[in-house]
Amino acid sequence: MAEKAWCIGVRVRPFNHREQMLGATACIDMDGPTTTIGRIEDTTMVPMNFTFDASFWSHDGFEKDDDGYFRPLHGSDYADQAHVFETFGKALLDFAWAGHDCSLLAYGQTGAGKSYSMMGYGKNKGIISRVCEEIFEHIATNANPDLCYEVAVSVFELYNEVVQDLLVRPERRPPSEFGLDICESKLHGIYIDRLERRPMHSCEEIEQLLEEATHNRTVGSDLMNATGSRSHTFTRIEIKQVTTQGGRESTKVSMINLV
């Protein structure tokens, strides 16, 4: 992926059980970065083409290996979790190591597969888990005694225009109609007041923290998704790079926002 200020990708998932029972037919095709949607006009299928930075075909052409990972069949165009991360997650981290704030947003209707792409499940780790692994693998390769790293994570949700800290159990939170305050300062920019920020020392610690946050999410069922989240979940990873030269410290801080 070329270095750009922003990139857009689209991903198509397999049919879910409900769609299979209804005998749904795929109306989407992909060729490289181009996504084609078929629109019916007077019983004729009219193709409409849309070109993005990347189009990920994850509808079919895969198999489950012995570990439970969904991998491409030989010769198929199936985009697995690793491919999606390599395309967008790697570029995100390159910006972060350079000291820039960066964000990755999964957008779509309920049941579209946002949680699978971002969180994943089992061996099919999503972008967030892979970003965390990559961060600590990068830190482990540091051979500069004058450079040290600090990593901290916050997780919060936006539900009905109210912000709540997912690292705080629901019974200990502010009243649901108020939530946490979104503030702005010259020093910190836009920030969330009283949002818990936990130092992390390994990918395993972050995974445990994300499990805790997931348990505290607002969820509910609808016709499209029986276990979907009714909120937008934000995972914020702060990376601080502290360099000591001549007895003086310089600090480079970047924020990774994963939504």
Computed over every residue of the chain, the mean pLDDT equals 90
Say what the pLDDT of residue 219 is. Answer: 65
Please state the rounded mean pLDDT for residues 4-33.
Answer: 92
Backbone angles phi, psi at 206, to 5 degrees: -65, -40
> Confidence class of residue 225 from pLDDT cuts 50, 70 and 90?
low
Give pLDDT tens digits for 121-152: 999 999 999 999 999 999 999 999 999 999 99
Say what the pLDDT of residue 110 is. Answer: 86
Does the structure show a pLDDT above 80 at 224? no
Say what the pLDDT of residue 229 is. Answer: 54
Say what the pLDDT of residue 230 is. Answer: 61
Give pLDDT tens digits for 90-113: 999 999 999 999 999 999 988 899
pTM of the model: 0.87
Say what the pLDDT of residue 1 is. Answer: 57
Backbone angles phi, psi at 249, to 5 degrees: -105, 140
Please state the rounded mean pLDDT for residues 191-213.
Answer: 94
Please state the rounded mean pLDDT for residues 23-31.
Answer: 92
Does the structure show a pLDDT above 80 at 220? no
Does the structure show a pLDDT above 60 at 227? no
Please state the rounded mean pLDDT for residues 209-233.
Answer: 71
**Exposed e or buried b per residue across 94-118, where buried means at least 16 C-beta atoms within 10 angstroms of its C-beta:** ebbeeeeebebebeeeebbbbbbbb
Bigger pLDDT: 225 or 259?
A: 259
Say what the pLDDT of residue 177 is. Answer: 73
